[in-house]
Amino acid sequence: DSGVTQTPKHLITATGQRVTLRCSPRSGDLSVYWYQQSLDQGLQFLIHYYNGEERAKGNILERFSAQQFPDLHSELNLSSLELGDSALYFCASSVGPNSPLHFGNGTRLTVT
Amino acid sequence: AQTVTQSQPEMSVQEAETVTLSCTYDTSESDYYLFWYKQPPSRQMILVIRQEAYKQQNATENRFSVNFQKAAKSFSLKISDSQLGDAAMYFCAYRSYQGGSEKLVFGKGTKLTVNP
């Protein structure tokens, strides 16, 4: 168990809808990262937050947004969903910039 | 920009044998960290091993060890006495933090099959 909690585990929704994915980092970890992994693909970096502030953006669509709250949990909001947004979304946390990332079990999003 | 290359999209090994997965990276930095992650069919991302660039000694975790060649910018993963449970996708990752700028780059992965 990595200590990173992601909810929900599975999400099935229709095109055009909006969903929110939630991540609770490991206790003491200030950094939260979001990654997208499509079927048989590598990890696509979406966004990084550190102690509530956005630190870096990757290939994140304008339809996607995220935030990190004062209690350090983070939410990834996906709107106007398209079939191509179906993927496994990972959250990872880290205590510092030179520490390993610890990944949650992911949220599997299916858009029908 | 830093890049991480895993040149072997797929590898296979017989159970109980040894296999080595390759990873090379490109950087001009001197201080960084390298990691191997395992992603089994369950799709969890599991940290396998880490290596600090300033350490000359190669990291070892049970049956997993690395061959870190800093000058060659190579970071290969050796799995000894392969087990069926080692079958997974393996990702190499580079991480550094200098001057307030963090870099974190993953390779595209190597799919390892373990044959009984």
Average pLDDT, chain A: 93
> Which of A90, A92, A98 is facing B33, going by the closest CB pair?
A98
**Torsion angles phi and psi, residue A85, rounded to 5:** -80, -10
Inter-chain contact B104–A101, Cβ cutoff 8 Å?
Answer: yes
Cβ of A100 within 8 Å of Cβ of B50? The answer is yes
Q: Of the candidates B29, B32, B36, which has an alpha carbon nearest to the alpha carbon of residue B54?
A: B32
pLDDT over threshold 70, residue A48? yes
Does residue A80 surpass a pLDDT of 80? yes
Encoded tokens for A97: 């910039």
Higher pLDDT, B55 or A41: B55
Q: Which tens digit of pLDDT belongs to each residue from B22-67?
A: 999 999 888 899 999 999 998 899 999 999 999 989 999 999 999 9
Contacts of residue A27, defined as CB under 8 A and 6 or more positions apart, other chains included, come to A3
Distances B50 to A65, A99, B33, B84, B100 between C-alpha atoms, Å: 31, 9, 7, 23, 22
pLDDT tens digits, B79-116: 999 999 999 999 999 988 777 777 788 999 999 999 99
Which residues does chain A have within 8 Å of residue B44's beta carbon, measured at their own beta carbons? 103, 105-106
β-sheet bridge partners, residue A46: none
CB contact under 8 A, B91 and A43: yes
**Residue range A18-22: average pLDDT?**
98
How does pLDDT run across A97-110, given as a tens digit for each residue?
A: 778 899 999 999 99
Nearest-CA distance B15 → chain A (Å): 24
Residue B47 makes CB contacts below 8 A (sequence gap 6+) with: A100, A101, A102, B35, B36, B37
Phi and psi, residue B102, nearest 5°: -105, 140
Percent of chain A with pLDDT over 90: 80
Q: Which residues of A touch B35 (CB under 8 A)?
A: 100-101
Check residue B96 and give its pLDDT.
83
- Report which DSSP code applies to A43: P
Which among A43, A97, A103 has the least Cβ separation from residue B102?
A97
- Measure the CA–CA gap between B10 and B12, rounded to whole angstroms: 7
Q: In Å, how far are A87, B32, B56 from B29, measured between CA atoms?
A: 33, 7, 16
> At which residue do the structure tokens 């393996």 appear?
B90
Q: Which residue of B has its CA nearest to A44?
A: B106
Question: Is B47 in CB contact (< 8 Å) with chain A?
Answer: yes
